[in-house]
Amino acid sequence: MALNFRIASKIKGFFSKNQSISIKDIEKILYDADFGASVVSELMSEIKASKNIDEAIHFLNEKLLEMFKPCEGVLEINNKPSVIMMVGVNGTGKTTASAKLAKKLKDEGKKVMLVAADTFRAAAVEQLEHWAKKIDCEFFSKGKEADPGAVGFEGVLKAKDSDIDVLIIDTGGRIHTQLGLMAEIQKVYKAIAKALQRDPDHVLLVVDSTQGQNIKNQTEIFNDSLGVSGLILTKLDGTAKGGAITNILRDLKLPVFFTSKGENLGSIEVFKAQSFVDKVLLG
């Protein structure tokens, strides 16, 4: 997981044990990592007292760990079938994340079914079916341009009949600022709940780490519309802006369940605060 923050090395470029800290430069480094004004202010309020690079890096590690530790989430699979609804804006890697999660759960001994309710994006159904075959898990769709609510509803019924442990429903990407599209995904949620006779077990929001502060806005809107259980943070192999997670933690108190990078089906990891902080500081 190659986060391009490298905060520690950037700080080292500005001062050493024999030099005073350049507050302005450190602030810029933190802003560039997209931590946001309130987080930067909290970090800088005490880092000013650091006398050398070791103190500064140690302080940042401890403060970031304190911020990220509450983000650690555990995806509980209790019901049968447990239904996971995957949501997110266009282009976050949601379909691939659905497949990665399916493989992870299957490797843990669960009987998994993938449901293709993203019926309007070109090749989305075919993409998910391809992954399902590669994983060797159950798959359900009604084809292109089928009503997504009907796909979700019938997918639940199929899962019940097939003794499925975990049902993962890949929904269409939404532009979170368009109320009509958010209303449509609420209909899909209600259709799933009707077939299940209870709410879905989890609504996982897939967010693109490169989108920075937009993550917070997306999360707020999806959470208000659907009640988000937690996050999957994707695309951590690029020039990530994952510092925005701190704002989600502080304001919305939502867990991060997994991080993901690339197309390899095995490249999904349980979110661990210390591991993430290490990536942020050391790159």
Sign of CA pseudo-dihedral 197, 199, 201, 205: positive
Listed in sequence order, the residues at least 6 apart from 70 whose beta carbon sits closer than 8 Å to its beta carbon are 249, 253, 255
Domain boundary among 46, 71, 96: 71
Residue 257 has a pLDDT of 96
Model-level pTM? 0.88
Query: pLDDT tens digits for the chain (283 residues)?
Result: 334 456 766 666 655 544 555 677 778 878 877 788 888 888 887 777 777 777 878 888 888 888 889 889 999 999 999 999 999 988 889 999 999 999 999 999 999 999 999 988 778 899 999 999 999 999 999 988 899 999 999 999 999 999 999 999 999 876 655 667 788 899 999 999 999 999 999 999 999 887 777 888 888 889 999 999 999 988 876 555 567 777 777 777 889 999 988 888 989 999 998 888 887 777 6
Q: Tell me if 219 is assigned to some domain.
A: yes
Residue 263 has a pLDDT of 83
Q: What pairs with residue 113 in β-bridges?
A: 138, 167
Q: Tell me if 276 is assigned to some domain.
A: no
Q: Residue 98: which CATH number? A: 3.40.50.300
Long-range contacts for 177-181 (Cβ within 8 Å, ≥24 apart)? 177/221
User: What is the distance between the alpha carbons of residues 260 and 255, in angstroms, rounded to a whole number?
Assistant: 15
Could you tell me if 181 and 155 lie in one domain? yes
| DSSP β-ladder status, 268-270 and 256-260 | antiparallel
| DSSP β-ladder status, 82-87 and 166-171 | parallel
End-to-end alpha carbon distance in the chain = 9
Residue 90 has a pLDDT of 85
Could you tell me if 44 and 177 lie in one domain? no
User: What is the distance between the alpha carbons of residues 243 and 7, in angstroms, rounded to a whole number?
Assistant: 11
Which residues span the domain enclosing 15? Answer: 7-71
Could you tell me if 170 and 240 lie in one domain? yes
Residue 26 has a pLDDT of 79
Q: Tell me if 279 is assigned to some domain.
A: no
Q: Tell me if 282 is assigned to some domain.
A: no
Could you tell me if 118 and 251 lie in one domain? yes
User: What is the distance between the alpha carbons of residues 118 and 206, in angstroms, rounded to a whole number?
Assistant: 14
Could you tell me if 21 and 154 lie in one domain? no
Residue 16 has a pLDDT of 54
Residue 14 has a pLDDT of 59
Could you tell me if 52 and 87 lie in one domain? no
Query: What's the number of domains the chain is made of?
Result: 2
Q: Tell me if 221 is assigned to some domain.
A: yes
Could you tell me if 184 and 252 lie in one domain? yes
User: What is the distance between the alpha carbons of residues 156 and 131, in angstroms, rounded to a whole number?
Assistant: 20
Residue 58 has a pLDDT of 85
Domain boundary among 28, 51, 71: 71
**Residue carrying the six token digits 């502060």:** 213
User: What is the distance between the alpha carbons of residues 219 and 206, in angstroms, rounded to a whole number?
Assistant: 9
